[in-house]
Amino acid sequence: MTTLDLALDLLRRPSVTPEDAGCQQLMIARLEALGFQVERLRFGNVDNFWARLGDQEPLFAFAGHTDVVPPGPLAQWQSPPFAPEIRDGFLYGRGAADMKGSLAAMITACERFLATHPHPNGSIAFLITSDEEGIAVDGTVKVIERLEARGEKIRWCLVGEPSCLAQLGDTIKNGRRGSLNGRLVLRGIQGHVAYPHRAQNPIHAIGPILITLTDEVWDQGHEFFPPTSFQISNLHSGTGADNVIPGDLDLLFNFRFSPAVTVEQLQERTRLIVETALLNEEIKTGQVFQYDLEWRPPGLPFFTPPGDLVEATIAAVRAETGLEPELSTSGGTSDGRFIAPTGAQVIEFGPLNATIHKINERVATADLERLSRIYEGVLVRLLG
């Protein structure tokens, strides 16, 4: 079975996070046929597995996720998101690029590598979750806790996230910014719009807070990282009626932060901005607003300097594509943030990311086999 065939099988399974929809069993069957020992690890409602071939060091691990984001409006897809189609040299379907194409390439790369290197100079593993696109609390982080508890250490980890920009091989992610999600609930007093003096409108009070948060320069970046960014993702208030002043407002926001600033610094500066704005509002209008500021557990930034994993991947990319890939820490976050703190070298390398999370997500069919050969080339250089 080619990489394309396996990718088609995976894409037909509607594994919207945290559902796996049988993707992992499909992968497990292929790995067990190669001699991998597989542990199925379910935490909460999340399916994960850890598969390992060999008990020698060093340990190389592929990491990835079978879950995908929701497809969005079905009418906007040119073909059903979970009935993959090949058109004009591209494979279309939800998860084609993020990241079922990479999962298929990992499997076929291992099959070819083991056919020519039946006794690797080390061990190979797979760490697969169905909780990467969701809240990511019962997936990779829990598997890593299990491995750490028994002293099982990964030396090299290749995460199959889509990393490339214009052509396969142009970018390797050797680090990622951290991610910190916050929620601000601003509490006023509900009332009739005709009697504003009897109410306190949190929508009016949020304006200065939003301006300050969005204008703030949180840091100047880091040697290998762009500056920290702040984005508002959701803002909700009101009852839906046009004659009611709302009583509260709910704001969700996110920091993507560099190592130049700490989680504690971001939290404290946010608190001071909120309290300063509300104090000014009290002085200006006499209205006193209460607030709650909540934080979700952060994902910390990580960075893998050039070394044997980075160099092996660069060499494999160069051999397959002729390109000299750029090392980058831009973009979002990934489950690599849970693996890097164990001391592992972690990189991300996968197909083009131009259509991930979008309508009509796609990957070039030719890139799937080339990606598989690159993954095989990494294995040869590290374990061959």
- Known catalytic residues are 67, 132
Q: How far is CA 195 from CA 204, 242, 244, 267, 366, in A?
A: 15, 14, 10, 36, 66
Give the per-residue SS3 of the chain.
Answer: CCHHHHHHHHHCCCCECCCCCCHHHHHHHHHHHCCCEEEEEEECCEEEEEEEECCCCCEEEEEEECCECCCCCHHHCCCCCCCCEEECCEEECCCHHHHHHHHHHHHHHHHHHHHHCCCCCCEEEEEEECCCCCCCCCCHHHHHHHHHHCCCCCCEEEECCCCECCCCCCEEECEECEEEEEEEEEECECEECCCHHHCECHHHHHHHHHHHHHHCCCCCCECCECCCEEEEEEEEECCCCCCEECCEEEEEEEEEECCCCCHHHHHHHHHHHHHHHHHHHHHHHCCCCEEEEEECCCECCEECCCCHHHHHHHHHHHHHHCCCCEEECCCCCCCHHHHHHHCCEEEECCCECCCCCCCCCEEEHHHHHHHHHHHHHHHHHHHC
121 touches 110 (CB < 8 A)? no
CA angle 102, 7, 311 (to 5 degrees): 20
Q: Say how far residue 246 (Cα) sits from the centre of its chain.
A: 35
